[in-house]
Chains A and B, each alone.
Chain A
Amino acid sequence: MTATATVAAPAPNPDPPSTAPKPGRPHAQKFVNSLWILPPLLLVGGFFLYPLALVVKQSFIAKDGTVGLGVWRETVDSPQFTDALWHTVKIAVLSTAGCLVLGFFLAVVLAFVPFPGARLVSRLVDTILAFPSFLIALAFTFLYGTAGVVNAMADELGAGQPLVGFLYSPWCVIFAEVTFYTPFVMRPLLAAFALVPRDRLQVAASLGAGPWRVVTRILLPEAVPALAAGGSLTLLLTLNEFGIVLFIGAKDVTTLPMLVHAKGAVTFDYPGACVVAVVEVALSLALYGLYRFVFSRTGAARAGVVA
Chain B
Amino acid sequence: MNQGSLLQRLIARPEAGPFVLLLVEIIVFGSLNPDFLSPENIGNTLAFTVELGLIALAMTLLMTSGEFDLSVGSVFGFAPVLMWTLFNGGIVPLNVAFVAALAMAAVIGLVNGWFVTRLKITSFLVTLGMLLVVRGTALFITQGFPQRTWSAGGHALTSILVGEFRVGRMRLYMSLFWFIAAALALGYVLTGTKVGNWIQASGGNAGAARARGVNVDRTKVSLFVLSAVMSAFAGIISSIRTSAANPNSGTGYELEVIAMVVIGGTALTGGRGTVIGTVLGIFILRAMRNGIILVGVPGLAYNIFIGAIILGMMALHASLERRHHAGT
Partners in one complex: no
Contact surface of A with B, Cβ cutoff 8 Å: none
